[in-house]
Amino acid sequence: MSDLVRNILRFIVFIFVQVYVLNKIPPLHQYIVPYIYFLLIIWLPFSISRMGLLFIGFFTGLTLDYFANTPGLHAAASTLIAFIRPLLITVLTPKDSSELSYREPSAKAMQWAPYAVYVVVLTLLHNTYMLLLEFINIGGLLNFLIKIISTSAISLLLIFTAELLFPRSLKYRTNTAS
């Protein structure tokens, strides 16, 4: 499967799961709203240009916004993490990303510790920015602070569960077309 097809499938699956499962389940508590759709952006291949990342991020967020009736909210947050992602990868990996032997960010490609930091930072950024926008609109400081922690915790739990449940068959980057 080429990267393009793989990521289009992922896009459909993540949006579907977010819209029809996670947004619909009766919440365990008012503070817990699980988010996982931005895992798509976290898992995008290294080879995508920074401009490409930005537009993919914006488009992904906007698609979710169309379904959730929150125009701009997720789009703003996912554009932010798409912008931060390349900077974070440069900081966390010793090598230039073009020299990495794997195609996508993963525990194997980046070592467990840097990869965990990478995921945690992007999750926190995404949730904080999104909840900040919601906070500006609605208010409730304590609500906002608790929500950042609880929402990020549940998102991280989901992401690492997804990581363990669906091991990606990571291929070495090769010169031959695959």
Partner 1 sequence: MRNIFVFIRRYRTFFTFLFLQVIALWFLVSYNRFHRTKFLGVANELTGRINSQYNKVEDYFSLQEENKRVHRLNDSLLNLLPRNFGVRDTTLQIGMDTLNYDTAKFYRRYISRPATVVYNTTNAQKNYIQINRGAAQGIKDNMAVVGSDGSVIGVVVHTSKNFSQIMSLLHVQNSVSAALKKSGEFGTAEWDGKDAHHITLKKIPKTADVKKGDTVLTSSVSYNFPPGYMIGTVADVKFENTTGMYLLKIKTAANFYNLQQVHVIENIEREEQIRLMTETQKKMDQLKSTNK
- Chain residues binding partner 1 by CB under 8 A are 20, 23-27, 30, 33, 50-51, 54-55, 57-58, 61-62, 65-73, 75-76, 79-80, 83, 133-134, 137-138, 140, 143
Reported for 97-103, long-range contacts at CB under 8 A and 24+ positions apart, including other chains, are 97/46, 98/46, 98/47, 100/46, 100/173, 101/172, 101/173, 102/46, 102/170, 102/171, 102/172, 102/173, 103/3, 103/45, 103/46, 103/47, 103/170, 103/171, 103/173
Nearer to partner 1, 97 or 143 (CB): 143
Shortest reach from residue 168's CB to partner 1, in Å = 27
Nearer to partner 1, 90 or 111 (CB): 90
Q: Which of 96, 84, 112, 91 is nearest to 47 (CA)?
A: 96
Shortest reach from residue 59's CB to partner 1, in Å = 10
Nearer to partner 1, 88 or 107 (CB): 88
Shortest reach from residue 108's CB to partner 1, in Å = 28
Shortest reach from residue 7's CB to partner 1, in Å = 19
